[in-house]
Amino acid sequence: MMRRFLLLLAGSGWLRERVQRARFARRAVRRFMPGEEPEAALAAAEAFGREGIGTLFTRLGENVTDIAAADAVAEHYLAILGEIRARGIDGEISIKPTQLGLDVDEERCFDHLTRLAARAADVGGEVWIDMESSAYVDRTIGLFERARRAHPNVGICLQAYLRRTADDVQRLLPLGPSIRLVKGAYAEPASIAYRDRRAVDANYLALAVTMVEASRTGRVRLGLGTHDVRLIEQLAEHARAMGLSRSSFEVQMLYGIRVDQQRRLARAGFVVKDLIAYGDAWYPWYMRRLAERPANVLFALRQMLPF
């Protein structure tokens, strides 16, 4: 119930406008992001790099309704890719399609995506397409398939709580895809999404095993977008049984969450990436982070105290 309540609050524009101005909220959100400015994200990435941990950069924001704003987002990411190259950061970018104007002009969104993929290829990295709510899944997969034909350095995020995802994985495997597998963080009906945590975990592991098995005979880059170390270690055991190393998949965790485990896993031979979010449009994203682990609500409440 707490999770569903938090996801409901995430969609409130009225709350977003007020909470983002509150000082206590800005203190609380610093747990999950180094700062609102890109320089804070770049500096954090440089620090992670010294510990053998790579970075995925994502500027917060979604559902852009003005094409000029979408154009500005694309230019911003081009600049970030330039900084990644100039500073020698092991970094890639992760973008929501609606941030590039999917809701306004799908062709312009596609053009932005391919421009970014071409620039990312110069840096030696990938452009990850984030998955948004279920209403966008078909268009997002179609966008990925189109972009992948021209740019093999485009990846996509899939959500394990959606019942359709097993079919989506089978559809995409022939492309030799890069897939970030997450559990899912939107409010979806039981008719299309698993609601029980154990069911989501079981589907997550089954999907991950399918992709690791496929990597034995073809190119599949799998990123585990989870903080559930138990699931990560279960997959590592499956990979070992197949004769594959821990580096046959990646661990992709969010900034500020289980950083001790990120460092431990990196030292143990796992490929670890830290997803660093930044920007001022953090309210819906932050509420979804709280919903993923309601125990974080206690931390947020503590930030309301005047000390």
The pTM for the full model equals 0.86
> 16, 103, 119, 130: which is the annotated catalytic residue?
130
Please tell me the predicted confidence (pLDDT) of residue 240. 95
Q: How many DSSP H helices and E strands does the chain contain?
A: 13, 8
What is the end-to-end Cα distance of the chain in Å, rounded?
A: 30
What integer pLDDT is reported at residue 62 of this predicted model? 87
pLDDT tens across 201-244, in order? 999 999 999 999 999 888 899 999 999 999 999 999 999 999 99
pLDDT recorded at residue 303: 42
The SS3 call for residue 92 is strand
Residues 6 or more apart whose CB falls under 8 angstroms from that of 228 comprise 201, 204
Quick: pLDDT tens for 91-136.
Answer: 999 999 999 999 999 999 999 999 999 999 999 999 999 999 999 9
* Structural domains present in the chain: 1-33+289-307 (no CATH), 36-281 (3.20.20.220)
59, 119, 180, 246: which is the annotated catalytic residue? 180
Task: For the chain, state the CA radius of gyration.
Answer: 18
Clarify whether 130 is annotated catalytic: yes
HSE-up of 245 (CA within 13 Å, CB side)? 5
Residue-level pLDDT at 164: 98
pLDDT at 187 over 90: no
Would strands 127-129 and 154-159 be described as parallel, antiparallel, or unpaired?
Answer: parallel
Residue 210 identity (one-letter amino acid): T
Which residues, at least 6 apart from 287, have a Cβ–Cβ distance to it below 8 Å?
A: 6, 7, 9, 10
Tokens representing 36? 């609102």
